[in-house]
Amino acid sequence: MTTHDAILAVLKTVKYPGYSRDIVSFGLVKDIQIDGDAVGVMIELTTPNPELGNQIAEAARLALRDRIEGLTDAHVQVRVPTAQQAATAAPSTGARNRIPGLTRIIAIASGKGGVGKSTCSVNLACALRQLGATVGLLDCDIYGPSIPLMMGLNQRPTVNAEEKLIPPVAHGVKLMSMGFLIEGDQPVIWRGPMIQKTIQQFIHQVDWGTLDYLLVDLPPGTGDAQLSLCQTVPLDGGVIVTTPQEASLGVVRKGVAMFEKVNVPLLGLIENMSYFTAPDGSRVEIFGHGGGQAEAKRKGIPFLGEVPLFTAIREGGDNGIPVVVAAPNSAPAMAFLDIARILQTLQA
């Protein structure tokens, strides 16, 4: 006789399109009904994409018919929300699992590496601090932590009486990174479960105190590791960093989909390396221009602003003094401060 557990086991073999995780682990299977040799399954998506729903339904039906012996009928219904329902239906992870003392937790993500995501993270953290907020910055790039270098700090965290790590502070921002816990250039060679456990410890076993903002610098990409981090950390919103060229914009859509899948509100998009101002004052659009703003409009998400190419931004990251701290009244710093003000407005 067909059992509920047997049906669930089969559905765990149905992967969510584009990911190696299955529809059960994503929490999409809402109901299973068994009537003799017939089975009914209810699946609910959080993304308003009927084509995706049809693809998942067909995969589930085929899996049930192929793997459940004696099954005569497999009815799979997929509920797909409208765009308005998807925006308002389910609370974000952050709303469900608040962490005492952390008012807002915002992820900074990118679909690919090399777009300046960590540079944006450190400067936005310092900008929010300059605007009067209490701020923490969590470096979730376990394999390639860069926050210690960019913030000019390299020290091991101490431990308090409750055996929690006390985050070091640089430029008024509380920090935590794997870079504080490993020696020099020692590589981190870990599998996914170890990374997820470490991120949980960075959130729950660090004495963050009371913060207005905890910015989470995610590793580049949109794979399993990033999805696990988004589900581990109770996020209130996400920000995507891109550059103008199509190679970057193509993976922005994957970043948007990643946040949608875990019900994290997308606060907006930043176009980094937007253009370069030559010594004679002329504007040079090395990577093209305006693609980020156009993509934000196309996806219906806020465009937070553009950050031009400035040597001072690169120098600040290399020297451990972000440009927002080193030259707060400069044009490069003002670009980040303007974005930080918009974030404050969106999160008010």
Task: Name the CATH code of domain 93-346 (choices 3.90.1150.10, 2.60.120.10, 3.30.930.10, 3.40.50.300).
Answer: 3.40.50.300
Determine the Cα–Cα distance for residues 237 and 298; give it in Å rounded to an integer. Answer: 19
Torsion of CA 83, 88, 90, 92, to 10 degrees: 110
pTM: 0.70
Write the DSSP symbol of residue 106. E
* Rg of the chain taking only CA atoms, in angstroms: 22
Task: Decide if pLDDT at 188 tops 60.
Answer: no
What's the residue count for the chain?
A: 348
Q: What does CATH list as the number for 4-88?
A: 3.30.300.130
pLDDT of 187 over the 90 cut: no
Which CA distances in Å does 311 have to 275, 287, 308, 332, 346? 12, 16, 10, 9, 30
Please indicate whether the domains covering 4-88 and 93-346 agree at the CATH topology level. no
Which residues are within 8 A (CB) of 327 and not within 5 positions of it... i.e. 6 or more apart?
312, 333
pLDDT in tens, 86-131: 544 444 444 445 788 999 999 998 877 778 899 999 999 999 999 9
- Say which residues have a Cβ less than 8 Å from residue 184's Cβ, sequence separation at least 6: none
Nearest-10 Cα torsion for 290, 293, 295, 296 = 170
Hey, is 309 helix, strand or coil? Answer: strand
pLDDT at 96: 47
Helix (H, G, I), strand (E, B) or coil at 71: coil
Residue 248: the pLDDT is 64
Q: 5-9, 139-143, 249-253: which range is least confident on average?
A: 249-253
**Domain positions in the chain:** 4-88, 93-346
Residues 237, 264: contact at Cβ < 8 Å?
yes
Among 208-222, 239-253, 301-315, the minimum mean pLDDT is found in 239-253
Q: Exposed, middle or buried: residue 258 (CB in 10 Å: 0-12, 13-18, 19+)?
A: buried
What confidence score (pLDDT) does residue 94 get?
Answer: 40
d(CA 33, CA 35): 7
Helices and strands (H, E) in the chain, number of each type: 13, 14
What is residue 288's three-state secondary structure? Answer: strand
Cα gap 190→192, rounded to integer Å: 7
Who contacts 232 (Cβ-Cβ below 8 Å, separation ≥6)?
Answer: 196, 199, 200, 203
